[in-house]
Amino acid sequence: MGVTSEPSPAPHSTHQVTNQPPARVGIDEYSTNVALVEAVDRHDAAWAHEDLIAIGALVGSAAFQDDAVIANTITPELRPYDRWGNRIDHVEYHPAYHRIMASAVRHGAHTSAWADPRPGANVARAAAFMLLSQIEPGHACPISMTHAAVPSLELQPEVAAEWLPRMFSREYEPDLDSPGKSSAIFGMAMTEKQGGSDVRANTTVARPRGRGGPGEQYLLTGHKWFCSAPMSDAFLMLAQASGAGGDGLSCFLVPRVLPDGARNVFRVQQLKDKLGNRSNASSEIELDATAAVMIGEAGRGVRTIIEMVARTRLDCILGSASGMRQAVAEATWHTRHRSAFGRVLVDQPAMTSVLADLALESEAATVTAMRLARSHDDDVDANEISFRRLATPVAKYWICKRGPNHAYEALECLGGNGYTEGFPLARRYREQPVMAVWEGSGNVIALDVMRAIEREPDCLTAFDAELSLARGHHRLLDAHLETLRRRLSELASIDTDAAQRLARSLVESMALALQASLLSRYSPSSVSEAFIESRLGPDRGHEYGTLPTGVDVAGILSRH
Instruction: Check residue 180 and give its pLDDT.
Output: 77
pLDDT at 12 over 90: no
Q: Please give the helix or strand (H or E) that residue 377 lies within, else none.
A: none
pLDDT at 365: 98
Residue 558 three-state SS: coil
What is residue 341's predicted lDDT score, i.e. its pLDDT?
92
The full set of domain ranges for the chain reads 34-167, 186-301, 304-557
pLDDT score, position 13: 74
20, 374, 403, 436, 447 from 399: Cα distances, Å: 32, 18, 6, 8, 16
pLDDT band at 373 (very low <50, low <70, confident <90, very high): very high
Residue 390 has a CB neighbour count (10 Å cut-off) of 24
- Residue 157: pLDDT over 90: yes
pLDDT tier at 3, thresholds 50, 70, 90 = low
294 within 8 A of 212, measured Cβ to Cβ: yes
pLDDT of res. 547: 95
Model confidence at 2, pLDDT cuts 50, 70, 90, reads: low
Separation between Cα atoms, residue 552 and residue 280, nearest integer Å = 41
Q: What is the SS3 string spanning 249-290?
A: EEEEEEECECCCCCECCCEEEEECCCCCCCCCCEEEEEEEEE
Q: Is the pLDDT at 1 greater than 90, yes or no?
A: no
Q: Please state which architecture CATH assigns to domain 304-557.
A: Up-down Bundle (1.20)
**Mean pLDDT across 487-513:** 95
Check pLDDT > 90 for residue 279: yes
| CA distance to 121, 361, 407, 423, 472, per residue, from 414 (Å) | 37, 18, 11, 9, 40
Return the pLDDT at 214: 97
Q: What is the pLDDT of residues 181-227, one digit of tens each?
A: 999 999 999 999 998 888 888 999 999 999 999 999 999 999 999 99
- pTM reported for the whole predicted model: 0.96
Q: Mean pLDDT, to the nearest integer, of 262-286?
A: 97
Closest residue by Cα to residue 547 from 529, 559, 524: 529
Query: End-to-end distance of the chain based on CA atoms, in angstroms?
Result: 73
Tens digit of each residue's pLDDT (9 = 90 or more) over 385-437: 999 999 999 999 999 999 999 999 999 999 999 999 999 999 999 999 999 99
- What was the pLDDT predicted at 9? 67
Query: Which fold does the domain 186-301 belong to in CATH?
Result: Butyryl-CoA Dehydrogenase, subunit A; domain 2 (2.40.110)
